[in-house]
Amino acid sequence: MNSRTRGTERIFLGVYTACALILLSLPINPWVAALKTVLIYCFLPPPYSAARAAGHFSEIPSNFARLLRVDQENQRLARESMDHEVAESQRKALIEENERLKSLLGIRPSLPWRHSWAKVVGRDMKGWNSLVWIDRGSDQGAAFNAPVLGTAQGKVGVLGRVVEVLPDASKVLLMSDELSALTVVVGEGRWEGLLEGSPSAFKVRYLPVAAKIGVGDEVWTSPSSLTFPPGILVGKVEKILPVDSYLPYREIQVRPAVHPGQVSHVLVLSPHKAVVPEERQGGLSP
């Protein structure tokens, strides 16, 4: 038995030694290279998996700390959310109070606006910056004189208004057309003036000479505009023109917030239909 065991040991020793010497002697032999590749596929996954698992375990403390921070932030956000809920309920109460007071005074209530997206499907070849065609017509709710807004660099700005409505398309007169005009307010002082369209830069006329306006002030649609809802960005003051001593007002140049060449999709606004209570119908209207 003992000699048999020794024989087995020697056989194993011989086989293993022969295999190892073959591998050592023929390192660039295709068969050895193939065997090495096979062994790599067999032997590499365990240590790699272990290393990845160890990496995950080593991240546990930092993940735990992050979890604690997230929990604290969550509690803070929950408190802020409650504050916002209170503010929201106050806002609703104020709106209701505002509507009630308006109805008591007989002031026409401001209507909420709804919007729909439209795609620019064509441009006028003769006046590239004068008008565009959009794929929304009367069948989709577009109406004559509906305000059209564009977006550029994450901001929404005035683009133009609908001047012709077909069943499936509409023609939009752009603010950059010389026929366009819009009442606007300028800067913090909310000086009101009339903006006239131009392909290069808008011009605002009829501003008081004493108006304190600076370059970079923002220009918004005015509450007195019959077409556009108030508070929509039109552009920024680019240049303050010198006061003409013969004119009782001053003029400024405005760089548009949305250039018509940038837009591919537009927002078409339309007011919700007003539901005017019967007792208010006889009231005064501004």
Partner 1 sequence: MKILWGGLLLLAAGVIQWLWAANLSFLGPPPQLMLVLTVAASIVFGSVWGQSLGFLGGLWLDVLGARMFGGTALSLCWIGYGAGLLRRQMDVSNIASQLAVVFAASLAHGLVMRTLGFFFMRHWGETGFFAFMGGAVLNALAAPLAFAVAAYVEKRHG
User: Which is nearer to partner 1, 29 or 264 (by Cβ)?
Assistant: 29
Q: Which residues contact 201 (CB under 8 A, 6 or more apart)?
A: 238, 239, 253, 254, 255, 256
User: Which is nearer to partner 1, 4 or 272 (by Cβ)?
Assistant: 4
- The footprint of partner 1 (CB under 8 A) covers 5, 8-9, 12-13, 16-17, 19-25, 27, 32, 36, 39-40, 43-44, 46-47, 50-51, 54, 58
- What separation in angstroms does the CA of 119 have from each of 116, 123, 135, 199? 10, 12, 6, 22
At 143 the three-state DSSP class reads coil
User: Which is nearer to partner 1, 47 or 282 (by Cβ)?
Assistant: 47
User: Which is nearer to partner 1, 25 or 245 (by Cβ)?
Assistant: 25
In whole angstroms, how close is the CB of 62 to partner 1 at the nearest point? Answer: 16
**CA distance linking residue 42 with residue 40, whole number of Å:** 5
In whole angstroms, how close is the CB of 58 to partner 1 at the nearest point? Answer: 8
In whole angstroms, how close is the CB of 44 to partner 1 at the nearest point? Answer: 7
User: Which is nearer to partner 1, 24 or 226 (by Cβ)?
Assistant: 24
Name the packing angle between helices 30-43 and 45-58 (round to 10°): 30
**CA distance linking residue 209 with residue 64, whole number of Å:** 64
Residue type, 77: L
In whole angstroms, how close is the CB of 61 to partner 1 at the nearest point? Answer: 15
In whole angstroms, how close is the CB of 47 to partner 1 at the nearest point? Answer: 4
